[in-house]
Protein backbone atom coordinates (compact mmCIF):
# COMPACT_ATOMS: atom_id res chain seq x y z
CA UNK A 1 0.00 0.00 0.00
CA UNK A 2 1.41 3.41 -0.93
CA UNK A 3 1.64 6.18 1.62
CA UNK A 4 -0.38 9.32 0.81
CA UNK A 5 1.97 12.10 -0.22
CA UNK A 6 0.49 14.55 2.29
CA UNK A 7 1.54 12.28 5.16
CA UNK A 8 5.13 12.47 3.92
CA UNK A 9 5.32 16.25 4.21
CA UNK A 10 6.82 17.83 7.31
CA UNK A 11 5.21 20.82 8.93
CA UNK A 12 7.25 24.01 8.61
CA UNK A 13 8.42 24.04 12.21
CA UNK A 14 9.26 20.36 12.11
CA UNK A 15 11.14 20.83 8.84
CA UNK A 16 13.22 23.68 10.28
CA UNK A 17 14.05 21.86 13.52
CA UNK A 18 14.77 18.56 11.77
CA UNK A 19 17.07 20.29 9.30
CA UNK A 20 18.88 22.21 12.06
CA UNK A 21 19.37 19.02 14.06
CA UNK A 22 20.63 17.10 11.03
CA UNK A 23 23.07 19.89 10.13
CA UNK A 24 24.39 20.10 13.69
CA UNK A 25 24.90 16.34 13.94
CA UNK A 26 26.49 15.98 10.51
CA UNK A 27 28.76 18.99 11.06
CA UNK A 28 29.99 17.64 14.37
CA UNK A 29 30.51 14.16 12.95
CA UNK A 30 32.24 15.45 9.83
CA UNK A 31 34.62 17.72 11.70
CA UNK A 32 35.50 14.98 14.16
CA UNK A 33 36.09 12.47 11.36
CA UNK A 34 38.34 14.95 9.60
CA UNK A 35 40.36 15.42 12.79
CA UNK A 36 40.60 11.65 13.31
CA UNK A 37 41.80 10.97 9.78
CA UNK A 38 44.14 13.97 9.59
CA UNK A 39 46.41 12.29 12.14
CA UNK A 40 45.57 8.56 12.04
CA UNK A 41 48.73 7.47 13.80
CA UNK A 42 51.04 4.57 12.91
CA UNK A 43 48.16 2.06 12.78
CA UNK A 44 46.72 3.81 9.74
CA UNK A 45 43.40 5.15 8.50
CA UNK A 46 41.42 1.93 8.98
CA UNK A 47 42.35 1.75 12.65
CA UNK A 48 41.60 5.45 13.11
CA UNK A 49 38.17 4.95 11.53
CA UNK A 50 37.36 2.03 13.84
CA UNK A 51 38.52 4.11 16.81
CA UNK A 52 36.29 6.98 15.66
CA UNK A 53 33.28 4.66 15.46
CA UNK A 54 34.01 3.22 18.90
CA UNK A 55 32.82 6.31 20.78
CA UNK A 56 29.24 6.30 22.04
CA UNK A 57 29.11 10.02 21.25
CA UNK A 58 29.78 9.28 17.58
CA UNK A 59 27.24 6.46 17.41
CA UNK A 60 24.46 8.40 19.13
CA UNK A 61 25.03 11.41 16.89
CA UNK A 62 25.05 9.11 13.85
CA UNK A 63 21.66 7.76 14.93
CA UNK A 64 20.31 11.30 15.23
CA UNK A 65 21.68 12.19 11.79
CA UNK A 66 20.15 9.02 10.32
CA UNK A 67 16.76 9.67 11.90
CA UNK A 68 16.68 13.29 10.77
CA UNK A 69 17.98 12.47 7.30
CA UNK A 70 15.34 9.81 6.78
CA UNK A 71 12.66 12.17 8.09
CA UNK A 72 13.73 14.68 5.45
CA UNK A 73 14.27 12.47 2.41
CA UNK A 74 13.28 8.89 3.25
CA UNK A 75 9.91 8.95 4.96
CA UNK A 76 8.32 6.81 2.26
CA UNK A 77 10.92 4.02 2.51
CA UNK A 78 10.78 0.92 4.69
CA UNK A 79 13.86 2.05 6.62
CA UNK A 80 12.39 5.52 7.03
CA UNK A 81 9.14 4.06 8.34
CA UNK A 82 11.02 1.89 10.86
CA UNK A 83 13.26 4.68 12.16
CA UNK A 84 10.25 6.98 12.24
CA UNK A 85 8.42 4.78 14.75
CA UNK A 86 7.87 6.60 18.06
CA UNK A 87 9.62 3.81 19.99
CA UNK A 88 12.73 4.01 17.77
CA UNK A 89 12.86 7.80 17.83
CA UNK A 90 12.48 7.78 21.61
CA UNK A 91 15.32 5.27 21.93
CA UNK A 92 17.52 7.69 19.97
CA UNK A 93 16.44 10.50 22.31
CA UNK A 94 17.56 8.34 25.24
CA UNK A 95 20.97 7.65 23.73
CA UNK A 96 21.70 11.25 22.80
CA UNK A 97 20.52 12.53 26.20
CA UNK A 98 22.82 10.06 27.96
CA UNK A 99 25.63 11.25 25.70
CA UNK A 100 25.12 14.82 26.87
CA UNK A 101 24.69 13.90 30.53
CA UNK A 102 27.73 11.61 30.73
CA UNK A 103 29.84 14.23 29.04
CA UNK A 104 28.68 16.99 31.37
CA UNK A 105 28.82 14.91 34.57
CA UNK A 106 31.91 12.74 34.04
CA UNK A 107 34.10 13.93 31.20
CA UNK A 108 33.88 17.69 30.63
CA UNK A 109 36.14 18.50 33.58
CA UNK A 110 39.01 16.58 31.99
CA UNK A 111 38.77 17.92 28.44
CA UNK A 112 39.03 21.57 27.45
CA UNK A 113 39.08 21.78 23.64
CA UNK A 114 39.91 24.87 21.64
CA UNK A 115 39.27 26.02 18.11
CA UNK A 116 37.68 23.53 15.78
CA UNK A 117 37.71 20.86 18.49
CA UNK A 118 35.62 23.15 20.68
CA UNK A 119 33.16 23.47 17.80
CA UNK A 120 32.67 19.74 17.24
CA UNK A 121 32.48 19.13 20.98
CA UNK A 122 29.80 21.79 21.39
CA UNK A 123 27.78 20.38 18.51
CA UNK A 124 27.83 16.73 19.57
CA UNK A 125 27.70 17.10 23.36
CA UNK A 126 25.49 20.15 23.76
CA UNK A 127 23.60 21.22 20.64
CA UNK A 128 22.38 17.86 19.36
CA UNK A 129 21.44 16.53 22.85
CA UNK A 130 19.15 19.57 23.16
CA UNK A 131 17.82 19.83 19.59
CA UNK A 132 16.76 16.22 19.09
CA UNK A 133 14.80 15.87 22.35
CA UNK A 134 13.10 19.20 21.51
CA UNK A 135 12.13 17.73 18.14
CA UNK A 136 10.79 14.65 19.90
CA UNK A 137 8.69 16.65 22.36
CA UNK A 138 7.22 18.92 19.72
CA UNK A 139 6.62 16.64 16.74
CA UNK A 140 6.79 12.91 17.50
CA UNK A 141 3.33 11.36 18.06
CA UNK A 142 2.91 10.63 21.77
CA UNK A 143 0.96 8.15 23.86
CA UNK A 144 2.14 5.06 21.97
CA UNK A 145 4.94 3.81 24.21
CA UNK A 146 4.73 1.05 26.83
CA UNK A 147 6.82 0.61 29.95
CA UNK A 148 8.65 -2.43 28.56
CA UNK A 149 10.13 -0.21 25.83
CA UNK A 150 12.59 1.12 28.41
CA UNK A 151 14.02 -2.39 28.86
CA UNK A 152 14.24 -2.99 25.10
CA UNK A 153 16.20 0.24 24.67
CA UNK A 154 19.01 -1.30 26.75
CA UNK A 155 19.95 -3.65 23.90
CA UNK A 156 21.98 -1.02 22.06
CA UNK A 157 24.11 0.10 25.04
CA UNK A 158 24.60 -3.57 25.97
CA UNK A 159 25.88 -4.32 22.47
CA UNK A 160 28.10 -1.25 22.67
CA UNK A 161 29.56 -2.42 25.97
CA UNK A 162 30.26 -5.86 24.51
CA UNK A 163 32.02 -4.30 21.52
CA UNK A 164 34.02 -1.94 23.74
CA UNK A 165 35.27 -4.73 26.00
CA UNK A 166 36.05 -7.04 23.07
CA UNK A 167 37.93 -4.34 21.17
CA UNK A 168 39.74 -3.26 24.33
CA UNK A 169 40.87 -6.82 25.05
CA UNK A 170 42.32 -6.99 21.54
CA UNK A 171 43.80 -3.49 21.17
CA UNK A 172 44.18 -2.29 24.79
CA UNK A 173 42.29 0.87 23.70
CA UNK A 174 39.19 2.04 25.53
CA UNK A 175 37.18 5.09 24.47
CA UNK A 176 36.42 6.22 28.03
CA UNK A 177 38.34 5.97 31.27
CA UNK A 178 35.44 4.47 33.20
CA UNK A 179 35.48 1.37 30.94
CA UNK A 180 39.27 0.98 30.82
CA UNK A 181 39.79 -2.57 32.04
CA UNK A 182 43.56 -2.19 31.92
CA UNK A 183 43.47 0.70 34.39
CA UNK A 184 40.49 -0.20 36.57
CA UNK A 185 40.06 -3.96 36.30
CA UNK A 186 37.02 -5.83 35.05
CA UNK A 187 35.13 -5.69 38.35
CA UNK A 188 35.26 -1.90 38.53
CA UNK A 189 34.36 -1.55 34.86
CA UNK A 190 31.34 -3.83 35.25
CA UNK A 191 30.29 -1.85 38.31
CA UNK A 192 30.55 1.39 36.32
CA UNK A 193 28.61 -0.20 33.47
CA UNK A 194 25.88 -1.35 35.85
CA UNK A 195 25.54 2.20 37.14
CA UNK A 196 25.18 3.52 33.59
CA UNK A 197 22.60 0.87 32.76
CA UNK A 198 20.57 2.06 35.74
CA UNK A 199 20.81 5.59 34.30
CA UNK A 200 19.63 4.33 30.91
CA UNK A 201 16.73 2.46 32.48
CA UNK A 202 15.60 5.30 34.76
CA UNK A 203 15.79 7.87 31.97
CA UNK A 204 14.02 5.47 29.61
CA UNK A 205 11.18 5.04 32.08
CA UNK A 206 11.09 8.80 32.48
CA UNK A 207 10.73 9.22 28.70
CA UNK A 208 7.87 6.73 28.64
CA UNK A 209 6.18 8.64 31.46
CA UNK A 210 6.62 11.94 29.59
CA UNK A 211 5.33 10.37 26.40
CA UNK A 212 2.20 9.05 28.10
CA UNK A 213 1.57 12.42 29.73
CA UNK A 214 2.00 14.26 26.42
CA UNK A 215 -0.30 11.75 24.78
CA UNK A 216 -3.04 12.31 27.35
CA UNK A 217 -2.69 16.07 27.04
CA UNK A 218 -2.96 15.88 23.24
CA UNK A 219 -6.07 13.73 23.54
CA UNK A 220 -7.74 16.21 25.91
CA UNK A 221 -6.87 19.05 23.55
CA UNK A 222 -8.75 17.46 20.62
Residue 2 pLDDT > 50: no
> What b/e readout covers 78-88, taking b as 16+ CB neighbours within 10 angstroms?
eebeebbebeb
3-class DSSP state for residue 135? helix
DSSP structure string for 201-219: HHHHHHHHHHHHHHHHHHH
Specify the pLDDT at position 6.
35
The rounded distance, in Å, linking the Cα atoms of 17 and 22 is: 8
> What would the pLDDT profile of 25-44 be if each residue is shown by its tens digit?
999 999 999 999 998 888 78
The domains of the chain are located at 5-221
pTM: 0.93
> What would the pLDDT profile of 74-101 be if each residue is shown by its tens digit?
888 999 999 999 999 999 999 999 999 9
Q: Which of 81, 182, 90 is nearest to 135 (CA)?
A: 90
The rounded distance, in Å, linking the Cα atoms of 19 and 61 is: 14
Stated as kind and residue range, the H or E segment containing 27 is: helix 12-38
Residue of higher predicted confidence among 5 and 213: 213
Amino acid sequence: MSVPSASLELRRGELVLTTATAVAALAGLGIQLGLALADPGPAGVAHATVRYLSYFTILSNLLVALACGLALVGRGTAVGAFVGRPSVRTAIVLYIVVTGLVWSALLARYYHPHGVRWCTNALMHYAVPVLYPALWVAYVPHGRLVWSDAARWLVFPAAYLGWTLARGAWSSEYPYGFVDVGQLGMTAVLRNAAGLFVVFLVLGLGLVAIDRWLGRRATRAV
